[in-house]
Amino acid sequence: MILDLHMHTIMGSIDSNLSVENAAKKIYEKGLDGACLTEHSSIWEKNNNQIEDIFNLYNLKIFRAIEISTDYGHIIAIGFDKYYSGSHNLEILRKYADKYGAFLISAHPARRIFGKEKYQQNLLYKGKDYIPSIDEFSSNKLFKLVDGVEVLNGGNNLAENKYAYIAAKNNELVMTAGTDAHSESGIGLYGTRFKNEINNVQDLVFNLKNNYSEPVLQSDNAWIELDLNYYNSE
């Protein structure tokens, strides 16, 4: 089973122009089995059957999640029913995750880390005047507060994704992949493949926590396992 674990629609993300209908259609066309809707700082209501009905038309799975802006960058939280006050502080968010059994993923942690500006635009090193080494990056406190790292993000370049991969590996964290799609064009590049059938959020969290998954990418209309050499193909 392959899911896109990072996607935004007009239902909950003002920077997206992707409708739920078009998302479902494109996910089906690209050979995915479903997705997580990770809207910005909000989560669609549990009893909102409209979204599930649309995905059911294509026999697809759809799961609720949320992308939260924190003091350590953007975090995808899977397993919450709502946004909890104070979650912009990652240490507080970690406590909520432990309390409610949620799974936390660092989304695109190395985005813009190799920028040409004098001062860093990366959220972990914003304002710094240097590019951190991979060892410094890997030792960031962020990676002690999350359960997984997004090592393939459709909005990142390969060098940024490679930094995330190495940090995940160095910290022995679960690796996930998602397109971060805000439009149809981004869907189908990356996904996370699960060993087991995922029928609900509880299944999803269980399989992530037990690392019964792997990041995959689409090549020649087939889903293939991530190889480290892929990061050097740009």
Q: Mean pLDDT across the stretch 89-106?
A: 99
Q: Which pLDDT score is estimated for 86? A: 98
User: Which one, of 45, 95, 89, 91, lies nearest residue 66 by Cα?
Assistant: 45
Q: What is the mean pLDDT of the chain?
A: 94
Q: Which pLDDT score is estimated for 46? A: 63
Share of the chain above pLDDT 70, in %: 98
Residues 185 and 167: their CA atoms lie apart, in Å, by 28
Residues 155 and 223: their CA atoms lie apart, in Å, by 19
Length of the chain equals 234
Q: With cut-offs at 50, 70 and 90, classify the pLDDT of residue 128.
A: very high
Residue 43: both structure tokens together:
């989560």
Q: DSSP label at 158?
A: H
Indicate the pTM of the whole model: 0.96
Q: Mean pLDDT across the stretch 145-155?
A: 98
Pick the range with the lowest mean pLDDT from 10-14, 219-223, 229-233.
Answer: 10-14
Q: How many domains does the chain contain in total? A: 1
What is the domain-level CATH number for residue 47? 3.20.20.140
Q: Which pLDDT score is estimated for 120? A: 93
Residues 193 and 196: their CA atoms lie apart, in Å, by 9
Q: Which pLDDT score is estimated for 125? A: 96
Range of the structural domain that residue 189 is part of: 2-232
Q: Which pLDDT score is estimated for 111? A: 97
Residue 150 reports pLDDT greater than 90: yes
Q: pLDDT digit string (tens) for 10-61?
A: 876 777 789 999 999 999 999 999 999 998 878 877 656 788 999 999 999 9
